[in-house]
Structure 1
Amino acid sequence: MKLLLDQGTPRSSAIFLRQAGFDAVHTGEIGMAESEDEEILRRALAENRVVITLDADFHARLALSQAHKPSVIRVRIEGLRAEQFSELVQNVIPQCEDDLNVGAMISVNDFQIRVRHLPIV
Structure 2
Amino acid sequence: MKLLLDQGLPLSATALLRNAGIDTIHVSEIGMFEAEDAEIIQISGEEERVLVTLDADFHTLLALDEATSPSIIRIRIERLRAQALTDLMLMVIAECEEELAQGSAVTVEPSRIRIRRLPLVPDV
Q: Using the TM superposition, give the Cα deviation of residue 2 of structure 1 relative to its aligned residue in structure 2, in angstroms.
A: 0.5
Aligned ranges 1:17-36 → 2 under 5 Å: 17-36=17-36
Summarize deviations over 1:76-111 as a string: whole Å, max 9, x none. Answer: 001111111111011101100110001000000110
Q: Using the TM superposition, give the Cα deviation of residue 8 of structure 1 relative to its aligned residue in structure 2, in angstroms.
A: 1.1
CA distance in 1, matches of 2:2, 2:115: 19
Aligned ranges 1:1-121 → 2 under 5 Å: 1-121=1-121
Gaps of 5+ in 1: none
CA distance in 1, matches of 2:120, 2:50: 17
CA distance in 1, matches of 2:29, 2:48: 18
CA distance in 2, matches of 1:43, 1:86: 22
RMSD: 0.6
State the aligned residue count. Answer: 121
CA distance in 2, matches of 1:28, 1:87: 21
CA distance in 1, matches of 2:12, 2:23: 14
**One-letter identity of the residue aligned with 1:23:** D
Gaps of 5+ in 2: none
| Identical-pair percentage | 52
List, as ranges, runs of 4+ consecutive aligned residues in structure 1 with deviation greater than 4 Å: none
TM-score (norm 2): 0.96
Structure 1 SS opposite 2:25: strand
Structure 2 SS opposite 1:116: strand
TM-score (norm 1): 0.98
